[in-house]
Amino acid sequence: MPDQSQPRRPARALLAAALVAVVLVLMRSFPTMWYEGYHFDSDQAVVGLMAKHLAEGRAFPLFFYGQHYMLGVQAWLAAPFFLLGGPTVFMLHVPVLIINATVAVMLVVLLNRELDLGWAPAFLAALPFIVPPAVTSDHLLQMLGASVEPLLYVLLLWVLRQRAVLFGLVLMVGFLHREFTIFALPALGVAMALDGSLFSRATTQRALTALATAVIVWTIVDTLKTHIDVFGPSSGPPESGPLSLQMAALTSRMSLDAAGVAARARSLFVDCLSDLFGVRANALREHSINSTVVTGSAGIGLLLFVAAAFVSFRVVALAPRAKADWRGAPFCVYLALVALQSAAAYTTASEVQPGAPGLIRYVLLMLLLPVALAAWYFRHETARVFRGAVAAVLVIWAAAGLVDTARVVREYATVRPPNKARTLADFLVARGVRYARADYWDAYITDFLARERVVVASTWKVRVREYQRVVDAHRAEAAEIVRQPCVGGVSIEAWCVRGLSRE
């Protein structure tokens, strides 16, 4: 009788690798998930307010409040969790944690399937995403309207490339959610040219069907947008506009002058990718994270540089073997081109300020580049010593990220940095303050942490216009929250609260 257990062993090993990947994602996500004050600001609080309003049936946040781009997908996903566990920072992050785990599993499974790698090389190649440096891990969990989602869209588009309707649906939703999703299209075109499937009648038919689906999705969203207030719950006339405003918003944030592009290209490597990959020592506070821990290492940077140079040399040396065995090349090219396009787009982003901390959220897709290179290398390297050395580098790199995460957990377990925003919100609620005004960065985080028991209007950028109307209607009793020094008010953490005597 044949041994039926043999075919199951690879599947069981792959399942075990996927489970380990999920566990590692949970471990590296722990600080952001568990510690409310680790990294939470007004931008993220706006998404929390969007989810709260949706869960309560007060509004439908089609787009990020106060702007005409970035679909409110994060809020849609968080709303059911708010119904289960309340509008907390933890519940707000649960859906993106699930997406992080899903992307990790998909990478392991797809690398194994597309390249026939085996579970161990597939797992090792996916490590740059599974356990990135601490700063990057936090960015993958941020509720800024979009964070890890484009990586999921990119992988889904690969899986759905022969299912035209679903492909068109995911492409348009992904693009309207985060425009970086569009990088999948040219990358997929090149990948399909490599496998010989690009120029065929079937591909043309699928492309037309996908295009029609995308147009339908665009039309539906455009119609909805004209009837939904972009500023959230409203007792007045809704304010919105056509979906074409998204394109206007995107183009307005691009700058193509040669000098600016060159400066941002340098900043990409010096200020951004160095922290994305953790190849220099960098204080978490430089990224607005509430921790005194310094993460990253120049030693890791040197190790990665040597490993990258060696892998590049070996890829060239193994080129004849690669030409004879082309399995997996399209998928690796697809991942690499998506990553490189995100890097190129960074150089055109007018929001990038050379010399300031890099906008890591703009280049999270670059994590796919080392994944693609490592997978391609493992597919063709025959020398066990070389394979082992590269695997060791990947493990050391991941371990360094976990060690930094453990250092953060130890800090919070011993001398926890104060959660000043929570202290302010609790103070206002305890004092019975119902209405207040504050700077944008203090207003919406207070609104969310106080669960809107205090309505704080922004004195700068407005995301929820109803707050402005409510506070204006109670002008006489509204407190004023300003930054220290404190004159004529009550000092609380970094703020001065004035007007309490008018309660």
Asked if residues 434 and 477 have their Cβ atoms less than 8 Å apart, the reply is yes
Listed in sequence order, the residues at least 6 apart from 128 whose beta carbon sits closer than 8 Å to its beta carbon are 277, 367, 370, 371, 374, 394, 397, 398
Cα Rg of the chain (Å, integer): 24
Residue 322, pLDDT > 60, answer yes
Contact assessment for residue 393 and residue 374, using Cβ atoms and an 8 Å cutoff? no
* Half-sphere exposure for 201 (CA within 13 Å, toward CB): 0
Q: Is the pLDDT of residue 227 over 90?
A: no
pLDDT digits (tens, 9 = 90+) for 380-411: 888 999 999 999 999 999 999 999 999 999 99
Confidence of residue 88 (pLDDT cuts 50, 70, 90): very high
For range 326-332, the mean pLDDT: 82
Q: Tell me the pLDDT tens digit for each residue of 425-471.
A: 999 999 999 999 999 999 999 999 999 999 999 999 999 999 999 99
pTM: 0.94
Distance CA 115, CA 331 (A): 8
Contact 348, 256 (CB under 8 A): yes
Report percent pLDDT > 70 for the chain: 96
Mean pLDDT of the chain: 92
Residue 255 confidence (pLDDT): 83
Q: How far apart, in whole angstroms, are the C-alpha atoms of residue 91 and residue 370?
A: 31
Cβ atoms within 10 Å of 1's Cβ, excluding its own: 3
CA distances from 180 to 97, 153, 174, 343 (A): 20, 10, 8, 11
Number of other residues whose CB lies within 10 A of the CB of residue 189: 15
- Whether the CB-CB separation of 7 and 386 falls below 8 Å is answered with no
Those residues with Cβ within 8 angstroms of residue 148's Cβ, 6 or more apart along the chain or in another chain: 96, 99, 100, 103, 140, 141, 364
Q: Which residues pair with 63 in a beta bridge?
A: 71
Write down the domain spans for the chain.
8-414, 420-502
Name the CA dihedral angle for 441, 447, 451, 455, rounded to a multiple of 10 degrees: 170
Average pLDDT on 467-492 reads 93
3-class DSSP state of 38? coil
pLDDT bucket at 7, cuts 50 / 70 / 90:
low
Q: How confident is the model at residue 323 (pLDDT cuts 50, 70, 90)?
A: low
Q: How buried is residue 71: exposed, middle or buried, by Cβ count under 10 Å (0-12/13-18/19+)?
A: buried
> Residue 463: which H helix or E strand, with range?
none
- Among 85, 90, 94, smallest CA distance to 55 is for 85
Whether omega before 485 lies within 30 degrees of 0, making that bond cis, reads yes
Model pLDDT, residue 503: 42
Task: Indicate the pLDDT class of residue 1, thresholds 50, 70 and 90.
Answer: very low
Give 324's pLDDT tier (boundaries 50, 70, 90).
low
The better pLDDT of the pair 175, 329 is held by 175
3-state SS record for 211-231 = HHHHHHHHHHHHHHHCCCCCC
pLDDT tens column, 100-146: 999 999 999 999 999 988 899 999 999 999 999 999 999 999 999 89
Percent of the chain with pLDDT over 90: 79
Q: How far apart, in whole angstroms, are the C-alpha atoms of residue 407 and residue 393?
A: 21
Q: Return the pLDDT at 412.
A: 97
First to last CA, the chain: 85
Q: Rounded distance, CA 21 to CA 15, Å?
A: 10
**Which sign, positive or negative, has the C-alpha torsion 328, 133, 316, 190?**
positive
In the predicted structure, residue 212 carries a pLDDT above the cut 80: yes
Does residue 238 register a pLDDT over 80? no
- Report the pLDDT value the prediction gives residue 8, as an integer from 0 to 100: 63
- Structure confidence at residue 325 (pLDDT): 66
Tell me 269's DSSP state.
Answer: I
Contact 365, 183 (CB under 8 A): yes
Contacts of 98 (CB under 8 A, 6+ apart): none
Higher-pLDDT residue of 25 and 252 is: 25
| Backbone phi, psi, residue 499, to 5° | 85, 15
Does the structure show a pLDDT above 80 at 249? no
Q: Are strands 435-438 and 479-483 parallel, antiparallel or unpaired?
A: parallel
Whether the pLDDT of residue 234 is over 60: the answer is yes
pLDDT digits (tens, 9 = 90+) for 259-318: 989 999 999 999 999 999 999 999 999 999 999 999 999 999 999 999 999 998 888 887
Structure tokens at 198: 């690009």
Cα angle vertex 268, ends 328, 407, to 5°? 85
Residue range 470-499: average pLDDT? Answer: 93
